[in-house]
Amino acid sequence: MYDSNSRFCTKDGTKLVPADTAAAVGAAGAGAAPNPLMVSGPRATAAATRGEPKSAPAHMNLVGQTLDKRYKIERKLGEGGMSFVYLATDIATQAQFAIKVLSEALSQDANAMARLRREAALGMRLAHPNVCHIMRLGETEERLVYVVMPYVNGEILADRNNRLGHIALPDTVKFVKDMAAGLMVAHELKIVHRDLKPENVMICRGKDGLEYAVVMDFGLAKERKAEGELQKLTATGIILGTPEFMSPEQLRGKPLDPRTDIYSLALMTYEMLTGKLPFQGRTQQEMMIARLRSDPIPIRRMRPDFDIPESVERVLNKAMSRNPDDRYQTVVEFADALAAAAGGVPAESGLLGKLFGR
């Protein structure tokens, strides 16, 4: 429960709304007509006078419709503060895709859309088994902006973490190598994910029966520049995605490069192995301050019962350095070092390094 002065959730940074407002939005979303256009004119005025719930935003009500005369929306796959994701069928080819429809606020953000267009142009080059890449960027006659991506079926890494409590070291190493392979392709194209977290990774099963990780949600321009460390740590600043996995430079609003993804991947690795995050605090603000000013809790102290090798702890501590210059400089280097520390492929001759000629 939150008091009346709370504006954001202390767990995930989501903006809070009064219970009566949330109920009204939920009712509108459940009972709204399939027409994606907002009701206006005398009819809307009459509805408001009768106290009927307002229509939900257009991007929330697309199931059963055909988007842009091409994609039949089958069902909703997920949602976030700035978008809804749907499963859709191309009516010409019967191929299935995941379509992310952006909120009006994001689609009207000139800077966000400029970056999204640049990254959509690189989408086909980003095609990789471990990446769910942008295939097309479109806009409907109703001015809904949407992104077409491959439909990836599997279990979200966050759900896997919650279900199991923690993930075994060999599986963690495998998933990290998969994510690193996909991220490396993006980094080679000068694309930084910026919002790497367990909710943006899918664990899939191939035709050979083996599991592999796919990085989702590239190029949707989720973060905006902060206005300094102190302002960023206020309640009004907790709006830039999920803060738990942000790098120190991201929390400070500094320029980002691929090393911010390395930091986030290291935090995810720590959580996969322990079920916990390496920075503690009573509130989200305290956890962010700890990331800016403190060292991570050593993983073997966090979970002494898991018998995690000391070499793995050293690799993670390096990857979670506050200064980007002190981290591994590529995701491939981090993934190979982790594999070597866990008793796998030696870092100097890692499979990922061979793949990218390193």
Structural domains present in the chain: 61-150 (3.30.200.20), 155-355 (1.10.510.10)
Q: If DSSP codes are grouped into helix, strand and coil, which group holds residue 90? A: strand
pLDDT tens digits, 153-168: 999 999 999 999 999 9
Rounded CA separation 338/242 (Å): 25
Active-site annotation holds for 178:
no
* Helix%, strand%, coil% for the chain, nearest 5: 45, 15, 40
The dihedral of CA 21, 23, 24, 29: what is its sign?
Answer: positive
Active-site pick, 195, 217, 261, 336: 195
Of 132, 224, 214, the closest CA to residue 175 belongs to: 214
Proportion of the chain above pLDDT 70, given as a percent? 73
CA–centroid distance for 182 within its chain: 14
b/e sequence 120-147, b meaning 16+ C-beta within 10 Å: bebbeebebebbbbbbebbebeeebbbb
pLDDT for position 59: 65
> For residue 241, what is the DSSP state?
S
Confidence of residue 281 (pLDDT cuts 50, 70, 90): confident
Q: If DSSP codes are grouped into helix, strand and coil, which group holds residue 253? A: coil
Rounded CA separation 100/147 (Å): 5
pLDDT at 213 exceeding the cut of 50:
yes
Identity at 230, one-letter amino acid code = L
Residue labelled with tokens 């986030």? 264
Q: Which token pair is 65?
A: 């419709």
Average pLDDT of the chain is 77
